[in-house]
A and B are shown apart, each in its own frame.
Chain A
């Protein structure tokens, strides 16, 4: 009985300790706090997970007060991290939609507390797709270990596997793609071990070999048609070389590439004829399915010598499109949309906004694999006005941004960026506020240290509208 009473009193004491409280005494700083990740004045959707951050290493502890316009507030803090309670945060976001919340940071150094100037987090009056998926892969060069395609519920911190190569030693998995942000029609490639393209069509999976006839390769970069059971693929002969001293380190380039269509239901590959010396890649459909956008580089034979390229910096891609006639399954003539090469640049990875009015892409000095190019930035072209938005507030000055995509409501722009350390891609999301694209925020994690400690890149981030995971059963998915 005595032991029980002691335990009870200890438990009550622990419970009564409660959370952190605002320090009684502190000095005022005229500066805003230095926090990681930088969430100061970002615009976030009203269904995003708590934007946990931490104060810099000069401080040992922080207490954070987050206040909504209505006066509702949260006080939190755990060591140097914020540890925002998720339910309180969600309530606050719902109540503050279209407005902003104020964040006051109190941080202690050697026992002395400082109150920094508050900053705001703006809550957009719209949601973001609940899920994103990405491939988790080391920024390796020629070898790879365990890799996975994972999905993340971005309204909380749940991350789960879609596919893992754990039990298939030596296998590579890549290029996950969805039709209309849904998982009932999706695909990904498995390479080397048990290779092929796994296609889930209306929830039923099958594995196909897309290397047919005289195709350069099996299907590589995919794009699902928004309505038809049809996928556009590029076929590529890809090589990789290493920079001796250049900070870009790796150069991945094609020596040949074409486009093709794959009719999923009929299991039929339809090659798309192309001019000689034209390398087409990175297909993307307009949301009405009437246009197929892609990148094309015009190169001369003398540029390549087997695996070697005499001047890799001379390979520059422009953006083209072709009309698509669904009834005859035929494509129109190529139409130049954006001539990056005229500016000495190379545009890759185009994606159309759901309303079809804008196109985003990655642009760098040369080549097609911009995630390894420090100068690569995201651009947005207004297809109606021809106006190019350089997205200066979105891009980092020194590191690569790549793989842009729109959310299903067209309000959010997601990209992979290496701005944190130069080597590991992380997911950043920007609010498209009318004509303005706001400062991006890093995909929040339960612990902000997670981004530092995870030694894998977030590759090919894609939005998904479906919550609750895959529609097809796990068994079917894993054992196709």
Chain B
């Protein structure tokens, strides 16, 4: 028996730690997007508030992903051990007791892109803490009768929300008490409603402790299932399965294995494996660390781009002074400017404040930090960007405020914003003093703002951006105006654009090979127009797919 118990108890933390650490970039993001509520009264004054606040605090441990993963694994192991003690399952079915911890693992890994757009403070730890608290409380009051169970549920409800109700129901079931006690348990949230009426609807009281994946009219209810499964499975095992798990039959044994396997499979399927979330996180970190070559290399090796990856790549190329030489060389790689990265989450949720700051639009960066913080909770990442944008914008007092808040977080006691980046400042100096709106589209905003930069204010950094965005907009007037300054670097794509947009008004300093190549393309285009032969498009794609001309003539 000891051998079997040891195996389950050993395998569970290894599996959970392994699965968590295989998503270490996501674990880093968990800390970065952890809600920083410096005045937690609002959180504490809601049911489940204590778990939320504790979860927020504990999430800070993800600063070191291994530490955060270890904490969760330790909690889940504790859940398993307490459950095992209370249920006393037979060796061959005890693996069933791993279902709640695995469901909790799933509740961490299934969040994915929702991390950017769902206000769920402390989510990644709070449910694990709540389940463990529920089990410990059940262990303490087990066998003390339905009155004590009910009182315990009522007293614990403000702390652990619906986990307290689940505990109460489990204890009543466990002792086969009068079913009327279930009604008492279910009335617990109503009892507390008066105390929380200023904060909650009556419906919210029955959802205290259940994560809701809902934003802007869009809901994915199934994402809440892992937490519900963890809570319900625990309650059912405590209340109903005691005897049946102890009496092992072959069917039960395989049923238990099957349940665990199904949970693990669901966790794997629901984990963020396969999408670009973690790659985006990595590229954003490199952007902050100014590792431009690493970004460019990654994006050129892996042509599957999301809107965010595309924007980070373009920005890295600008920093490497390669926009005019590389931006179109790895076609086709583009995604639509309005295509969402996942769900309906796009670059504005993910990287707008960072990119606006990098491009010298500090007001916009501050605005988006505020907008996102206001809507989805002020996180460490947003606070960091706020502080840095404030430094760039010359707002020392604001930067100091955000720095003070960040320094109160674990592992950030000495944090200070990096000094202002000279290129961002240079870009800012070249921007026109305008009033307007970005209409929630950073790409469009950058295109418009940089093509509209006054010539007199253009710096070396802005001139290549202005030319590039004019090219992306297929705006020949703006491009030719920029080219006329004579300050455009002699790079391949700029020369390609010049050939196509100068409309025969001389090829200036265009290299002969590029001019000849364009001449050849013009003939093919003429042929295509005449014959409508689709094979010509294929030929052009093969020959010119890595030139600006492909974008100009064939990309919408």
Contact = CB atoms under 8 A, between A and B. Distances in A.
Contact of A143 (B46, B197, B371): B371
Contacts, number: 115
Nearest to A137: B374
A130 B198 CA distance: 23
Nearest to A251: B435
Interface stretch (A15-23, A95-103, A264-272, A417-425): A417-425
A454 interface: yes
A473 to B, nearest CB: 11
Interface stretch (B276-284, B360-368, B467-475, B535-543): B360-368
Nearest to A161: B198
Interface in B402-420: 404-405, 408
Interface in B373-412: 373-378, 393-395, 397-398, 400-401, 404-405, 408
Given A145-B375, A452-B404, A244 B432 contact: yes
Contacts of A420: 397, 401
B199 interface: yes
A418 to B, nearest CB: 9
A474 B198 contact: yes
B367 A242 contact: yes
Contacts of B405: 452-453, 455
Interface in A237-285: 241-247, 249-251
A191 B58 CA distance: 36
Contacts of B397: 420-422
B373 A138 contact: yes
B398 A245 contact: no
B310 interface: no
B201 A167 contact: yes
A142 interface: yes
A244 B432 CA distance: 7
Contact of A242 (B364, B373, B374, B398): B364
B433 A140 contact: no
Given A138-B373, A161-B198, A243 B204 contact: no
Contact of A244 (B119, B200, B449): B449
Interface residues of A, number: 39
B438 interface: yes
B431 interface: yes
Interface string A437-458: 0000000000001101111000
A164 interface: yes
Nearest to A453: B38
B484 interface: no
A141 B438 CA distance: 12
A143 B375 contact: yes
B42 interface: yes
B436 interface: yes
A433 interface: no
Contacts of A244: 361, 363-364, 431-436, 449
B428 interface: yes
B85 interface: no
A166 B45 CA distance: 11
A454 B363 contact: no
Contacts of B374: 138, 140, 143-145
A4 interface: no
A145 B370 CA distance: 10
B39 interface: yes
B530 interface: no
A424 B390 CA distance: 13
Contacts of A312: 435
B331 to A, nearest CB: 32
A247 B434 contact: no
A245 B371 contact: no
Nearest to A147: B374
- Between A142, A454, A478, the greatest number of chain B beta carbons within 10 A of the residue's beta carbon is seen for A142
A139 interface: yes
Interface string B189-202: 00000000111110
A217 interface: no
Given A423-B398, A424-B401, A453-B38, A145 B367 contact: no
Contact of B39 (A161, A454, A478): A454
A90 interface: no
B363 A246 contact: yes
Contacts of A142: 371
B301 interface: no
Given A142-B371, A241-B437, A455-B378, A166 B200 contact: yes
A166 B198 contact: yes
Given A161-B198, A167-B200, A244-B363, A455 B373 contact: yes
A141 B434 contact: no
B381 to A, nearest CB: 15
A146 interface: yes
19 contacts: A140-B374, A143-B371, A146-B42, A166-B46, A167-B199, A242-B364, A242-B367, A242-B435, A244-B363, A244-B433, A244-B435, A245-B363, A245-B428, A247-B363, A247-B393, A421-B397, A421-B398, A421-B401, A454-B39
Interface of A: 138-146, 161, 164, 166-167, 241-247, 249-251, 307, 312, 420-424, 449-450, 452-455, 474-475, 478
Given A242-B364, A423-B366, A452-B405, 20 more contacts: A139-B370, A141-B371, A143-B375, A144-B374, A145-B375, A166-B42, A166-B199, A166-B200, A167-B199, A241-B435, A242-B437, A243-B363, A244-B432, A245-B361, A420-B401, A421-B398, A453-B38, A453-B408, A454-B38, A474-B197
